[in-house]
Amino acid sequence: MNLVKPLMAACVIFRGKLWHHVSFLAHRRDQLVAPPVEYFFAELRDGCSDDDSIVEACTMIENPQSCSGNKCSFCPEQYQIAHPSEQELLCGKEEHAKDFIRLMNMSPMPFTCSTETPEIGIVIEQ
């Protein structure tokens, strides 16, 4: 696969590991005709060393617009990262949300971060 364009990445700390959800455009290598550019979603987590990332999933999303209903508990909505179904995620399920430490501007280059500040809801239980 050849990277065409990185789109967006979000990251959280979940159960002591740094996790990333990334979206990018790529096409297949070694094609005789010009291969189509496809949209991909990948889920990565940090490995044993600082420079190590483990690719937990890399999925081609045939129609990113059709994924708008797929929920992810850690990706800010304004990042517009198309996800596979929640069942396919290892990190980002609704029940994981209470365990996240959200990080901003920690995405690996060349991914960009949103310039908009996400809305943060604070709940104080009495």
Q: What percent of the chain has pLDDT over 70?
A: 66
The residues spanned by each domain of the chain are 2-103
Backbone angles phi, psi at 57, to 5 degrees: -155, 145
At 56-74, the pLDDT tens digits run 888 888 877 766 656 777 7
C-alpha dihedral (103, 104, 109, 112), degrees to nearest 10: 140
pLDDT of amino acid 27:
85
Asked whether the predicted pLDDT for residue 122 surpasses 80, the reply is no
Q: Tell me if the pTM is above 0.75.
A: no
